[in-house]
Structure 1
Amino acid sequence: MKKVLIIGGHGKIALLLAPLLTAAGMEVTSVIRNAAQSDAVAATGAVPVVHDVESSSVAELTELFAGQDALIWSAGAGGGDPARTFAVDRDAAIRSMDAAAAAGVGRYVMVSYLGAGPDHGVPEGDSFFAYAEAKAAADAHLRVGALPWTILAPGALTQDPATAQVDPTPAAERDPKAPRNTSRANVALVAAAVLQRAETTGRTIEFTDGTVPVEEALTP
């Protein structure tokens, strides 16, 4: 894995992930919407590229992705507006998958969340409903497409430091009252690790912070 493109390059996970990838010798391109974020992205070792994926066609994204070995989707609308949530987290994400396949990208990693899926259980009146629906649709599209994929499903994100230890218990087997905190720094470590491990292809990696070393947790 040599050339990696991150969509959502100024996000909290992406800013932690890019230095891990560049330290591993990868050429990282981080896609951002706002040119004012370029310096912060460049400081991670990634090359910032200003591009609005929300309004881009599949053809435009295919051109953007040309020559990349892997793509990591770490973008999001940020909640608040259901219409924009569907536009970014579902529609733009799906277009990026179709474009990545057309561009011959060899690996696609989606940052989703623990419990995502058509049976997410979020009531329609909940402010999280649009995001849950959008992620369910995007993840489903990725699973049935032609791309070699991995879906990361962390729990509730925090700013805690990395521990490199997680709990890989599937969501369906967890005590619903148990803590589900997951540091963004650990998410970045898992994302970097799956790119180096072909056996994580075609898998949904569910995890929270825990006591199992990341490398052990990723072993089938």
Structure 2
Amino acid sequence: MAHSILVFGGSGKVARNLTRILAADGHTVHSVIRNADQKSDIESLGGKPIIQSIEESSVNDMAKTITEINATAVVWSAGAGGGNPARTVAVDQEGAIRSMDATAQAGVKRYIMVSAIDIRDREGKPEPEWYNDDDRARSDRMWSAIGAYAKAKFTADRNLVTENSRRGLEYTIVRPGSLSTEASTGKIAAGKVHISPTIPREDVAKVIAECLKNDGTKGLAFDCVGGETPIADAVAEVAKARVDVFAGRY
């Protein structure tokens, strides 16, 4: 069944791969971008560009966009890049939360959040029990280097989960490890994984596409890194076991 899918942050590398993959599968992909100069790039991938500033758009603005394209699913893949803390909060936190409200307001249920591995309450909740010394060291380095980004993502993810009784979204939080520009392998490790393996951006896009196919991922947050399991199988295993790495850590 073909769907109409709205991707916020369409100019990013993961989102571009996702647009190409979904369009090739016969879906209609509307891609929200900030820069009109990127229109032809999105069109070449099979997407339909929408010029809209996430920072300047209200909940009503976003809901109008979602409604106008008759979206059946919304994917949040936008990010400020982590350089400017104020803009990171404006996009990764506040913009993301507005998109959740807008999706609910537009009457759309399916919502995919692209987050990141190790996004959690590091001060108030216990660390994941599967972490080893290398995971702890990498966690410390990540939060030290891009703490503003991690905090913004955490606030958004927590809001998605804790406010869902009000919104009623069928959400999935996809939490990839460090992104690489390597070619897709089509294989990952998913669920409760270690932090160190990288994952190609194209494989992250394939994970998102698989989540849109697999209703068993609704209500889950799971990590994904490079591994040895075919993506569809890895996602199916997460769905079957109801793995949620965010539960108890927000």
Alignment of 1:103-142 (within 5 A): 103-119=106-122, 126-142=144-160
What one-letter code is carried by the residue in structure 2 that aligns with 1:198? D
Alignment of 1:1-220 (within 5 A): 2-66=3-67, 67-119=70-122, 126-144=144-162, 145=164, 146-171=168-193, 174=194, 179-219=196-236, 220=240
Give unpaired runs (5+ residues) of structure 1.
none
Give the Å deviation of 1:169: 4.5
Residue-by-residue CA offset, 1:8-32 (whole Å, 9 max, x unaligned) = 1111011111111011111100000
> For residues 51 and 122 of structure 1, do their structure 2 counterparts lie closer, same or farther at Cα, with a shift above 3 Å needed?
farther
Give the Å deviation of 1:127: 3.7
What SS class does the counterpart of residue 144 from structure 2 fall into?
A: coil
Confirm or deny: 8 A CA contact 2:74 2:111 kept in the other structure: yes
Give the Å deviation of 1:81: 0.9
Structure 1 stretches of at least 4 aligned residues deviating more than 4 Å after TM superposition: 120-125
What one-letter code is carried by the residue in structure 1 that aligns with 2:178? A
Residue-by-residue CA offset, 1:131-181 (whole Å, 9 max, x unaligned) = 11000011111113121100101100000111110011414xx3x6xx320
Identity %: 38
Report the number of matched residues. Answer: 215
Confirm or deny: 8 A CA contact 1:122 1:132 kept in the other structure: no
The range that moved more, 121-130 or 135-144, is 121-130
Confirm or deny: 8 A CA contact 1:18 1:44 kept in the other structure: yes
What SS class does the counterpart of residue 26 from structure 2 fall into?
A: coil
Give the Å deviation of 1:129: 0.7
Cα distance in 2 for residues equivalent to 1:124 and 1:213: 28
Cα distance in 1 for residues equivalent to 2:180 and 2:142: 25
Cα distance in 2 for residues equivalent to 1:168 and 1:211: 10
> For residues 162 and 57 of structure 1, do their structure 2 counterparts lie closer, same or farther at Cα, with a shift above 3 Å needed?
same
With the length of structure 1 as denominator, give the TM-score of the two structures. 0.93
Give the Å deviation of 1:119: 2.0
What SS class does the counterpart of residue 65 from structure 1 fall into?
A: helix
What SS class does the counterpart of residue 112 from structure 2 fall into?
A: strand
Cα distance in 2 for residues equivalent to 1:17 and 1:64: 19
> For residues 123 and 87 of structure 1, do their structure 2 counterparts lie closer, same or farther at Cα, with a shift above 3 Å needed?
farther
Give the Å deviation of 1:65: 0.9
The range that moved more, 91-100 or 137-146, is 137-146
Give the Å deviation of 1:122: 5.2
Instruction: Supply the RMSD in Å over aligned alpha carbons.
Output: 1.7
What SS class does the counterpart of residue 71 from structure 1 fall into?
A: strand
Give the Å deviation of 1:123: 8.2
Cα distance in 2 for residues equivalent to 1:118 and 1:97: 21
What one-letter code is carried by the residue in structure 2 that aligns with 1:71? V
Cα distance in 2 for residues equivalent to 1:70 and 1:125: 31
Residue-by-residue CA offset, 1:35-94 (whole Å, 9 max, x unaligned) = 000000110100001000111111111101112100111110011111110110000000
